[in-house]
């Protein structure tokens, strides 16, 4: 049966119902070093740490107020929103990142962030690759985008290493952003 979920056409081999909307990563995506899964109780501290860390939020609008970050983390864990995910380190079980798959600017877009102490190990790239692979395997879309500030060299290099094509710049929030595109291969 084919259909659509939140405007996302699904391949005919998939059957989606209301239960699956809230557990979109069931089973989770498992990589060599990371697991990408739905947010769960116990993830709040890691989510708050990322939201309030100036280094993590440097290119994402700045650090959030701790009280607001805690409320948002609790809502994310309780919400079961389709497309939201967390990244967990397979070896330690630590929550190391988060992100989402959503329509923000027209096409479907993957967004991500990683706790600072896990930067520079290729873990974000592994997580984004898993989400990209899931997206193209389970939808009929041929395009997935990611955007980052032009000044965020690390994120730009990550996207380029994963095969995303830089298709140009645009201004948002008074800053130059770069749009990257992944295409179905």
At 1, the pLDDT band (50, 70, 90 cuts) reads very low
Type and span of the H or E element at 178: strand 175-183
Assess whether pLDDT exceeds 90 at residue 91.
yes
Q: With contact defined as beta carbons under 8 Å apart, do 149 and 184 qualify?
A: no
Give the three-state DSSP class for 104.
coil
Residue with tokens 């730009």: 156
Dihedral, CA of residue 51, residue 54, residue 155 and residue 97, to nearest 10: -30
So what's the pLDDT on residue 59? Answer: 75
Tokens at 13, concatenated: 């081999």
Tokens at 24, concatenated: 């979109």
Residues near 63 by Cβ (< 8 Å), separated by ≥ 6? 51, 52, 53, 54, 56, 57
Q: With contact defined as beta carbons under 8 Å apart, do 8 and 108 qualify?
A: yes
Q: Within 13 A of 7's CA, how many CA atoms are on the CB side?
A: 8
Q: Within 13 A of 81's CA, how many CA atoms are on the CB side?
A: 15
Assess whether pLDDT exceeds 70 at residue 24.
yes
What are the pLDDT digits (tens) for 37-73?
999 999 999 999 999 988 888 878 878 999 999 999 9
Domains and CATH numbers, the chain: 3-141 (3.40.630.30)
């Amino acid at each position: 049966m084919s259909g659509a979920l939140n405007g996302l056409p699904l391949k005919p081999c998939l059957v989606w119902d209301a239960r699956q909307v809230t557990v979109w990563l069931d089973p989770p995506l498992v990589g060599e070093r990371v697991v990408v899964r739905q947010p769960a109780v116990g993830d709040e501290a890691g989510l708050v740490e990322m939201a309030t860390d100036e280094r993590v939020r440097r290119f994402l609008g700045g650090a959030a107020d701790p009280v607001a970050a805690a409320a948002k983390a609790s809502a994310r864990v309780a919400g079961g929103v389709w497309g939201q995910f967390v990244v967990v380190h397979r070896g330690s079980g630590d929550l190391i990142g988060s992100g989402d798959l959503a329509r923000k600017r027209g096409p479907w877009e993957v967004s991500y962030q990683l706790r600072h102490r896990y930067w520079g190990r290729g873990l974000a790239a592994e997580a984004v690759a898993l989400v990209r692979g899931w997206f193209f395997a389970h939808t009929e879309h041929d395009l997935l985008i990611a955007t980052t500030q032009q000044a965020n060299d690390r994120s730009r290099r990550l996207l380029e290493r994963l095969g995303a094509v830089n298709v140009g710049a645009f201004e948002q929030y008074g800053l130059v952003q770069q749009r990257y595109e992944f295409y179905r291969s």
